[in-house]
Chains A and B, each alone.
Chain A
Amino acid sequence: MRVELDNLSKAWDGVVGADRITLEVADGEMVAFLGPSGCGKTTTLLMVAGIYRPTGGTISFDGRVVNEVAPKDRGIGMVFQSYALYPHMTVFGNISYPLRLKRLEKGEIRKRVEQVADMMGIGDLLDRRIAQLSGGQQQRVSLGRALVKEPQLLLFDEPLSNLDARLRLAMRGEIKRLQNDLGITSIYVTHDQVEAMTMADKIAVMSKGVLQAYDIPEALYDRPKTLFVAGFVGNPPMNFFDVEVMLLGGEFHAKNESLDLIVPDDRAAKAAAKEGRVVMGVRPEDVDVADDSSPRVEGLTLSAKVEVVEPLGREDLLGVVVGGVNVRLLVDKTKRAKPGDLVDLVFNMDNVQFFDPETEESLLWA
């Protein structure tokens, strides 16, 4: 099912929950609504579900406006962070509830519940009470209940946030596989950008009720349109510097009091066109620590003192200070950096980003 949101808004007594959200979810696509708490992602989802009544704009399913359609008539299934299972019913009771409401015939209900339960790997738990299940099992029951009525649209509201880290990883893959196999259009609300990047075909980044960007994950990562998107997508987050970009001796330089780096022409030209200071963004993986063998290229190297070392196993996350700004970088653990070390930083400027400090919009991709 194709879902279109057109200038969708929700406000309560002057507090804006969602502000003119416009986007389209293609049939069979999985879209993530990504943003920090209170960004309006759940508000938007609940409007799509029909729980909240929009105060402006329209929601359309396959071209039909559904603003006034009751949740039960929207053909949706929903999965919650809290699982939202009915504690007084068994697993069978929970999964069969949507079918019982439709007054399907008993044998048919049992057949469909068993089918879904087997698909979710909880076929042997049908007689259990909800309180007897683990978190992972409860989330499977919740998924089963959403799937059993064969919905046209699946809505996920942070479904993995209550699970422990390992289980979250396993369920992430499982949900993605299920969604792929069944081809059900899905909207997935999360504050976890890794979840959004790995599962979604497209990501809608939201902040303070406003849709900041809507694109495929790679585009959001490589070509962030706003400062917020650049800072929110990617973990650890992008490093930002206030610099002035200028042409010096045939080369573009990004300069401030404490750094002077050479920037590739194509990116720098647009940044240089802007008067005064701009915000430069460099991802943690684009900064490295030089060792004895690596060449110190003039204009791409900078010395700094290591403040913090966080070993991540495969690599180390270093915190250094450059001109009073905390900079985070991912380096190979063989570099053996220690707090207090004076190191040479090598910048890869091929992926550098530039933003307008006032409008916070990208100078490269806007």
Chain B
Amino acid sequence: MTQPLEKEAQAGAAAGTSGVPRRTLLRRVRSTATAYGFLVPTMALVLTFFVIPGILLLILSFTNLASVNFGDPWNFIGFANFERLFTDRFFPKILRNTVFYVFTTLILFNLGLALVLAIVTTNIPRRAGFFFRLVWLLPRLTPSVVYILMWRRIGQAEPYGIYNQLFPEFLGASGGNLFLGGSPWTFVILTNGFVGASFGMIIFTSALLSIPEDLLTAAKVDGASAWRIIRDIKLPLIKWPLLFIATYQTLSLLTSFEYILLLTEGGPGLFTTEVWALTAYKRAFATYAGNSQWAFGATWAIVLVTVALFFAVIYVKLFKFDELVEEPRIDNL
């Protein structure tokens, strides 16, 4: 490769300045063409399976397409779906549920428990740490239907649920119907949190283990207690993994609904544990009197995606991801 290039350059230099620009331009076009060539397969995939469906979904949200009028030409109804969404009697409740579900699970489990697990399992003997992390990975390895079935067996009301059978009077007021019956949110958040915590746990563990031992020794010698080492040294040094997990898990919690669907179907009662993504799913795919409201479901999804994008931008701005790039060092004595 280099030889012809060198020859060309030499020839160009020998011919004087006039011949050089055209050749370099030609070469530049050729090399960018190669670069684009490599991008084509990925771009095609993204376009086909992400951008185009996204645009279709957006268009869909302005129609009244449903299973009852399937086959008819698309009937555009303007912002009617959006109006219907925001004036929905249960819209405030769904919004509140979603915010509560996302941030409670995120803070208590996906970040909080994950961090505690990572710190604890890196401060006990290696094998024990490995064992406990493996145990905490089990929920993620279990198929969701199996996993939720187990939780339902634990949390159902008497006489089916193990927990309520064993402790019918636990915490007094439950009356043998704690959890799924009495406090369904506890169960929704526990089931999601136990799965969600493992991701952060793995990332935080590797980040914590990559902190040089010397830094921790230095901090101990400097007079830091175990708590101060966590606060002053460990947490700041795993700042980027923390922010990454916070961003990633907010977005994935916003769009996740399958555990809730399997566990409570949004109940018990009306919209008690129904979150936005679940509503979108139900409107689009579940039938109301034999009718699947595809367009209305698409509207819920579009608004949700917009909200998620908004959060993503806020996180990127707030956490200054561009500062990850370090300034060059000045090398002298």
Contact = CB atoms under 8 A, between A and B. Distances in A.
Contacts of B237: 87-88
Interface in A115-163: 129, 131-134, 136-137, 145, 149, 155
Interface stretch (B33-41, B48-56, B93-101, B221-229): B221-229
A80 B212 CA distance: 12
Contact of B222 (A50, A131, A145, A155): A145
A131 B329 contact: yes
B322 interface: no
Contacts, number: 80
Contact of B333 (A80, A101, A134): A134
Nearest to A134: B331
A84 B228 contact: no
A155 B223 CA distance: 15
Contact of A132 (B221, B239, B327): B327
B330 interface: yes
B219 to A, nearest CB: 8
B27 interface: no
Given A97-B232, A129-B327, A134-B333, A88 B239 contact: yes
B220 A71 contact: yes
B224 A72 contact: yes
B326 interface: yes
A46 B217 CA distance: 9
Contacts of B212: 82, 84
Contact of A101 (B223, B236, B327, B329): B223
Contacts of A49: 217, 221
Contact of A80 (B217, B224, B232, B236): B217
A132 B218 contact: no
A220 interface: no
B208 to A, nearest CB: 15
Interface in A63-111: 70-72, 76-78, 80-82, 84-88, 97-98, 101-102
A84 B220 CA distance: 12
Q: Which of B217, B221, B239 has the most CB of A within 10 A?
A: B221
B87 interface: no
A131 B228 contact: no
Contact of B228 (A82, A101, A149, A155): A101
Contacts of B6: none
Interface in B257-315: none
B232 A84 contact: no
A302 B233 CA distance: 64
B214 interface: yes
Interface residues of A, number: 34
Given A51-B220, A71-B220, A76-B221, A84 B214 contact: yes
Nearest to A82: B214
A50 B222 CA distance: 12
B128 interface: no
B218 A84 contact: yes
B31 to A, nearest CB: 33
B223 A132 contact: no
A167 B333 contact: yes
Contact of A88 (B222, B236, B331): B236
A273 interface: no
Contacts of A87: 237
B224 to A, nearest CB: 6
Given A84-B214, A88-B236, A88-B237, A134 B329 contact: yes
B18 interface: no
B217 to A, nearest CB: 5
Given A132-B329, A133-B329, A134-B332, A80 B220 contact: no
Given A72-B224, A97-B222, A80 B327 contact: no
A170 interface: yes
Contacts of B146: none
B215 interface: yes
Interface in B196-223: 212, 214-215, 217-223
Sort A-B residue pairs by CB-CB distance and give the 7 closest, nearest first. A72-B223, A84-B214, A84-B218, A101-B223, A98-B222, A88-B236, A71-B220
Given A101-B222, A136-B332, 16 more contacts: A49-B217, A50-B220, A51-B217, A71-B223, A72-B222, A77-B221, A78-B221, A82-B212, A86-B233, A88-B236, A97-B232, A101-B224, A133-B330, A134-B329, A134-B331, A167-B333
25 contacts: A46-B217, A71-B220, A71-B221, A80-B218, A81-B214, A86-B215, A86-B218, A86-B233, A87-B237, A88-B236, A97-B219, A97-B224, A98-B223, A101-B228, A102-B223, A129-B327, A131-B326, A133-B330, A134-B330, A134-B333, A136-B332, A137-B333, A149-B223, A155-B221, A170-B333
Interface of A: 46, 49-51, 70-72, 76-78, 80-82, 84-88, 97-98, 101-102, 129, 131-134, 136-137, 145, 149, 155, 167, 170
